[in-house]
Homo-oligomer: A and B are copies of this chain.
Amino acid sequence: MQYNISEKLVNMKPSAIREIFKSLTDPEIIAFAAGNPAAESFPSEKLAVLAAEIFAKDSSKALQYGITEGYPKLREQVTDRLEKRFNIKREESGVMIVSGGQQGLELTCKVMCNEGDVVLTEDPSFIGALNAFRSNGAKTVGVEMEEDGINIEKLKEAIKDNPKAKLLYLIPTFHNPAGTTMSLEKRRAVYKICRESGLLIIEDNPYGELRFAGEEIPTIKSFDDAGIVIYCGSFSKILSAGMRVGFLCAPEAVFQKIVVAKQVEDVHTNQFFQMLCAEFTEKYGLDEHIAGVSELYRRKCELMLGELEKNMPDCVKFTRPEGGLFVWLTLPESIDLQVFVKRALEKKVAVVPGTAFSPAESEISHCFRITYSTPTEEQIVRGIKILAEIVREMM
């Protein structure tokens, strides 16, 4: 039997990261690769108590079909938090609950892009987003990044070169994979350029709550008077990744179409866990819990950066995140990245090669991504030593 797979899917492969994740059944592997949050960041005991209460008091509602837009109490709480924490005005956009931040990205592209349209992204960018756009037949075109965010001149050129560009996808805060944060100046510049060019922005902010150093920088959505920003967020890095609960905030006309598109994808997000998020937020608030999670990552990140400084030869550059989960390293050009990644895995350290994050699906990169979130402190120390040794061997 010959299957005629659709043009948009026929050449797509499973995400390298998810595939690496599947192979991580070996408990000896130091998992610098996966983007999983630390299991100790999940408030399991509190969730268990609240879950029992929902089963006792409200099981008919929790197990029955819900509304596509999301559980009303949770939507209201998210709207509140976006307003108070991120200065996003409730009047201009609608908030809905989605099945993880990932679904917000995929739905936005489905609603805005025809096949052949272009989504501009930072280069490198989050592989899950790139593949979500591709799965809807959009082409991804990368724009060079600098320490303080996307290169503004290159962005202007990319807009000029790609008349079919519909969306600009950005992770301004604690970028995945780069670990960097876009400056306020650049956020304003990017916003102005997009408004003038009629380009919509997807502001993806799954890590924004996890700041452990530096100063808060306003979200792009907070100055979105023109209604051109679709903001995506998530509970994955705060309460639980496996529950698949995220949210998005979009201008009303786009919001309405995203509701229609979500309705036919999964009807609504798991009702029980939406209620669980709402009960947790009501009973404990999010601030104290998030402060604890950020402190956990601060310690682990500091340890990792310290070990990198101590052990890594100077020819290797790395970013110094102020939050989020990732450090992005650049090898000297003399070192073959694929060989490096392979040797690391042989020595039981899993990292993600930069090629996985290429909007152009480039096979050439000298970068790789590591995380401090899931490895233990002992594994961080040992893993960085191993990576440094391999660099020295290959120099």
Cα distance, A130 to B64, chains bound together (Å): 23
Q: Which of B44, B115, B131, B200 contacts A60 (CB 8 A)?
A: B44
Q: Is the CB of A68 within 8 A of B18?
A: yes
Indicate with 1 or 0, residue by residue over A123-137, a CB within 8 angstroms of chain B CB atoms: 000001001101101
Cα distance, A226 to B226, chains bound together (Å): 54
Chain B residues contacting A59 (CB-CB under 8 Å) are 42, 44, 47-48
Could you say how many copies of this chain the assembly holds?
A: 2
Q: A330 to nearest B CB, angstroms?
A: 27
Q: Is the CB of B242 within 8 A of A63?
A: yes
Q: Is the CB of A18 within 8 A of B102?
A: no
Q: Is the CB of A128 within 8 A of B227?
A: no
Chain B residues contacting A44 (CB-CB under 8 Å) are 55, 59-60, 63
Q: Is the CB of A242 within 8 A of B271?
A: yes
Q: Is the CB of A263 within 8 A of B131?
A: yes
Q: Is the CB of A9 within 8 A of B110?
A: yes
Q: At the interface, yes or no: A272 with Cβ under 8 Å from chain B?
A: yes
Of A82-90, A207-215, A254-262, A282-290, which binds chain B?
Answer: A254-262
Q: At the interface, yes or no: A56 with Cβ under 8 Å from chain B?
A: yes
Closest to A13 in B: B260
Cα distance, A344 to B261, chains bound together (Å): 30
Q: Is the CB of B60 within 8 A of A166?
A: no
Chain B residues contacting A22 (CB-CB under 8 Å) are 67
Q: Which of B6, B132, B254 contacts A264 (CB 8 A)?
A: B132
Q: At the interface, yes or no: A111 with Cβ under 8 Å from chain B?
A: yes
**A63-B44, A67-B22 given; A137·B115 CB < 8 A:** yes
Q: Is the CB of B1 within 8 A of A112?
A: no
Report the interface size for chain A: residues with CB under 8 A from the other chain: 88
Closest to A131 in B: B264
Q: Which of A55, A166, A241, A260 has the most CB of B within 10 A?
A: A260
Cα distance, A5 to B253, chains bound together (Å): 9
Q: At the interface, yes or no: A36 with Cβ under 8 Å from chain B?
A: yes
Q: At the interface, yes or no: A228 with Cβ under 8 Å from chain B?
A: yes
Q: At the interface, yes or no: A293 with Cβ under 8 Å from chain B?
A: no
Q: Is the CB of B110 within 8 A of A242?
A: no
Cα distance, A177 to B166, chains bound together (Å): 39
Q: A191 to nearest B CB, angstroms?
A: 14
Q: Is the CB of A63 within 8 A of B51?
A: no
Q: Is the CB of B243 within 8 A of A270?
A: yes
A–B complex contacts, Cβ < 8 Å, 25 sampled: A1-B227, A1-B253, A3-B200, A5-B257, A7-B114, A9-B111, A12-B257, A12-B260, A12-B261, A22-B67, A42-B60, A42-B63, A44-B63, A48-B55, A52-B52, A62-B242, A66-B242, A102-B264, A102-B266, A106-B264, A115-B137, A131-B263, A242-B271, A243-B271, A244-B271
Besides A34-B65, A99-B270, 13 more A-B contacts (Cβ < 8 Å) are A3-B254, A5-B254, A15-B264, A18-B68, A36-B64, A39-B60, A44-B63, A102-B267, A106-B264, A110-B135, A135-B264, A242-B272, A243-B272
